[in-house]
Amino acid sequence: MNIQRFFLFLSVFLAGCSKPSDKIVIATAANVQYVMKEIKAEFEKETGKEIDIVVGSSGKLTTQIREGAPFDVFVSADTKYPQEIFKNGGSAEKPKIYALGTLVLWSKDIPKADLNIDSLANDKVKKIAIPNPETAPYGEAAIQVLRSRKVFEKIEKKLVFGESIAQTAQYITSGNVEAGFNALSIVLSPEMKDQGNYIILDSTAYKPIEQAAILLNHSDDSPKKETSEQFYKFLYSQKAKAIFQKYGYK
């Protein structure tokens, strides 16, 4: 009985002495997920600190943050959602733009020479994938392009909405749709490269996709505060900028 009490005391003592983890969680817009894998590797190599990445649409991640999800930094696909978080007191710092995104039209089977906005009205194109414009900024940009070219009404019934850029990419690469809108960073990723054909869309046909990040609130005694600030600073470093440019960001 004395031995059992000793080990019970020892386990309680060790638990009391263990430090809270400083491992942080980065809420990441789906279009940035492949970039973030490389940034994560560089950050961990440079600092020796680990991070986790949670991927989703910017709108859904914002909802999760609003509901108390334990994220430390939010890397969004626009400025609207981080600004909303800041206005609601979720951060002591205003969001900062880290890159400009580029919209593409992508198809698994349509030849590049035949791939354009007007061709989407063709009867051979039955379904067109698009990220949900209500939660994904690239989807909103795609709608702007379609309206500017006056083809939205012609193809509206063909649209298949993906929950995020990632789901839209699955629709396209699986061949479940004839074409779809996506981010240049996705088609340039090692996982998606050479899967079909794509064209870069005229950036004057949609509002600039300014992508911002925001450092979320931490208490002064939080073990995650220092690591979060360190990662946030690293996101705007020359090393990170080089990775963003590699994936087609401006």
Q: What is the pLDDT of residues 54-104, one digit of tens each?
A: 999 899 999 999 999 999 999 999 999 999 999 999 999 999 999 999 999
Residue type, 167: Q
Q: How far is CA 81 from the centre of its chain?
A: 12
Are 93 and 109 in a shared domain?
no
d(CA 226, CA 214): 15
Are 68 and 146 in a shared domain?
no
Lowest-pLDDT range, 86-100, 197-211, 219-233?
A: 219-233
Please report the pLDDT score of residue 3 as a whole number. Answer: 55
1: in domain: no
Are 51 and 92 in a shared domain?
yes
Are 107 and 199 in a shared domain?
yes
**pTM of the full structure:** 0.83
Are 109 and 198 in a shared domain?
yes
Average pLDDT over all residues of the chain: 91
Please report the pLDDT score of residue 7 as a whole number. Answer: 44
Are 137 and 159 in a shared domain?
yes
pLDDT of residue 106 exceeding 50, the answer is: yes
Q: Which domain holds residue 171?
A: 102-205
19: in domain: no
Please report the pLDDT score of residue 15 as a whole number. Answer: 42
Q: CA distances (Å), 232 to each of 5, 173, 183, in order?
A: 46, 33, 23
* Nearest-10 crossing angle of helices 80-87, 58-66: 10
Please report the pLDDT score of residue 20 as a whole number. Answer: 57
Residue 222 has phi, psi (to 5 degrees) of -70, 130
Q: Which two three-digit tokens encode residue 164? A: 């995020």
Please report the pLDDT score of residue 193 as a whole number. Answer: 87
6: in domain: no
62: in domain: yes
> Which strands form 209-215's sheet, in the order they lie side by side?
51-56, 24-29, 73-75, 209-215, 96-101
* Total of domains in the chain: 2
pLDDT bin (cut points 50, 70, 90) of residue 127 is very high
d(CA 33, CA 136): 14
> DSSP secondary-structure letter at 125?
-
Q: What is the pLDDT of residues 2-56, one digit of tens each?
A: 554 444 444 444 444 445 578 999 999 999 999 999 999 999 999 999 999 999 9
13: in domain: no
Are 154 and 35 in a shared domain?
no
Are 220 and 158 in a shared domain?
no
Are 200 and 172 in a shared domain?
yes
Are 46 and 163 in a shared domain?
no
d(CA 85, CA 113): 43
Are 131 and 191 in a shared domain?
yes
Q: Tell the residue number behind the tokens 């993906």, with chain if given.
A: 162
Any idea what the CATH number is for the domain that residue 155 is in? 3.40.190.10
Q: Which two three-digit tokens encode residue 172? A: 């396209």
pLDDT of residue 237 exceeding 60, the answer is: yes
pLDDT bin (cut points 50, 70, 90) of residue 220 is confident
Please report the pLDDT score of residue 21 as a whole number. Answer: 73
Q: How far is CA 51 from the centre of its chain?
A: 16
Are 119 and 197 in a shared domain?
yes
